[in-house]
A and B are shown apart, each in its own frame.
Chain A
């Protein structure tokens, strides 16, 4: 059952990202709920779940982007895997800690994505891209505590 909930959450997140969140766009940056979900699932359920959901979520995101298929899938797989190391190590009830974690992870995955694109495509990293990543990190961290509550509902026991 949680698989269906997470899958539906990915779909809702992507629909929001491609429609409603255009109105929140600052410097082209939008909240990335898929990333937040992947990080929080990783923290809650460990590296295996984190990377598997990261792969699926990233692939879904890639399919809606014009560009090379697989970049977001790879970035989110690694992000989910890395987040899993914090399983049972992070005080999940602290919204502030969650916000900081999501902020840092968004920045790290943003730069990882840029690096992957620069390596595999003709993409050039420009200074405003850094601003976009930071704004996106700010957005993600703001929404993270609410998404964390949702993830807790989906996975009530931290097993």
Chain B
């Protein structure tokens, strides 16, 4: 026995570890597997939060240094800007009244909307940033599984994904760009339905458009509301390419998501229960 162990100990340990991994892979997603996950996550979560804060502080420090270097030039610019701003005050007054109108409209809209809470993105998956992210709101903030997550980018609000895992103070969001993610979408212009599936990159693969579907690049895709998780009308992405599927039964397409998960900093988690 000892001879075999001395000669083949590396191989024996390798076989043992690989079998253990295969057992983990083959085991259903149960409490034991989850507890292994939680152990490592609790170990890493504080460092992730500190690292995120440091990144924020570092960014501020860099900005301060740059502004000190440019102080003299900035001073001259400020004097010039002062005159310009005075004339803009009048315009701002106009904007203020417009803003009030818009607020009133939003308040009206909120009457029929869902509850929501803002959360900060504290990390993403180690391998690929288009699969899942972690946010700093969790069970203690009443976040539960399958809550819908939105974000604001480039002037519009779009769908990010849904909550799939909840810890006391953090939650994992499965992004719509993940290969495991599938959702029903609808062409906003022509109302033709499709299924959007993530591809682990910054695109979505669209399937099951009817052959007669009137679809073209540039069409906006929104959630259909039929999957049971995502409410209808949330902006998902923009169609960039359409083609005939190989089976000739359906049309397919490629879409660019409205929100780039790689650039996310804050998200809005929507409650599944309406106000």
Binding site for B on A (CB under 8 A): 11-12, 14-20, 22, 25, 27-30, 32, 34, 46-48, 51-52, 55, 58-74, 77-78, 81, 84, 116, 120, 122-124, 126, 128-129, 132
Contact partners of A17 in chain B: CB under 8 A? 126-127
Known A25-B262, A48-B9, A123-B179: A15·B48 in contact at CB below 8 Å: yes
* Chain B minimum-CB-distance residue to A48: B10
Q: Which of B9, B10, B43, B174 contacts A11 (CB 8 A)?
A: B43
Q: Is the CB of B48 within 8 A of A78?
A: no
Most B C-beta atoms less than 10 A away, residue of A32, A67, A132: A67
Give the CA-CA distance A147 to B262 in the complex, in Å.
26
Q: What's the least CB distance linking B28 to chain A, in Å?
A: 10
Q: Which of B24, B41, B127 contacts A30 (CB 8 A)?
A: B127
**Within 8 Å of chain A (Cβ to Cβ): is B172?**
yes
* Chain B minimum-CB-distance residue to A85: B10
Q: Which 4 A-B pairs have the closest CB atoms?
A: A70-B24, A63-B40, A74-B21, A18-B123
- Chain A interface secondary structure, helix, strand, loop or mixed? helix
Q: Can you name 16 A-B pairs with beta carbons within 8 Å? A: A17-B126, A18-B125, A19-B52, A19-B122, A28-B129, A29-B128, A30-B128, A30-B129, A48-B10, A51-B14, A61-B126, A73-B17, A73-B21, A74-B18, A126-B199, A128-B201
**Within 8 Å of chain A (Cβ to Cβ): is B178?**
yes
Give the CA-CA distance A132 to B131 in the complex, in Å.
13
Known A19-B52, A120-B25: A32·B36 in contact at CB below 8 Å: no
Give the CA-CA distance A71 to B52 in the complex, in Å.
27
Q: What's the least CB distance linking B45 to chain A, in Å?
A: 9
**Within 8 Å of chain A (Cβ to Cβ): is B124?**
yes
- Chain B interface secondary structure, helix, strand, loop or mixed? helix
**Count, chain B residues at interface, CB 8 A:** 50
Known A20-B55, A51-B13: A66·B25 in contact at CB below 8 Å: no
Q: Which of B171-226 contact A (CB under 8 A)?
A: 172, 174, 178-180, 199-202
Known A18-B48, A19-B48, A74-B22: A63·B37 in contact at CB below 8 Å: yes
10 additional contacts (CB under 8 A) given A58-B21, A66-B131: A15-B44, A17-B127, A28-B129, A64-B123, A68-B24, A70-B22, A72-B127, A73-B24, A77-B17, A129-B200
Q: Is the CB of B179 within 8 A of A65?
A: no
Q: Is the CB of A84 within 8 A of B262?
A: no
**Within 8 Å of chain A (Cβ to Cβ): is B230?**
no
Q: Is the CB of A66 within 8 A of B24?
A: no
Q: Is the CB of B200 within 8 A of A77?
A: no
Give the CA-CA distance A66 to B123 in the complex, in Å.
13
Give the CA-CA distance A63 to B48 in the complex, in Å.
14
Give the CA-CA distance A34 to B43 in the complex, in Å.
16
Most A C-beta atoms less than 10 A away, residue of B37, B55, B126: B126
Q: What's the least CB distance linking A44 to chain B, in Å?
A: 15
Give the CA-CA distance A71 to B25 in the complex, in Å.
7
Contact partners of A65 in chain B: CB under 8 A? 125-127, 131-132
Known A28-B200, A124-B179, A129-B200: A64·B41 in contact at CB below 8 Å: yes
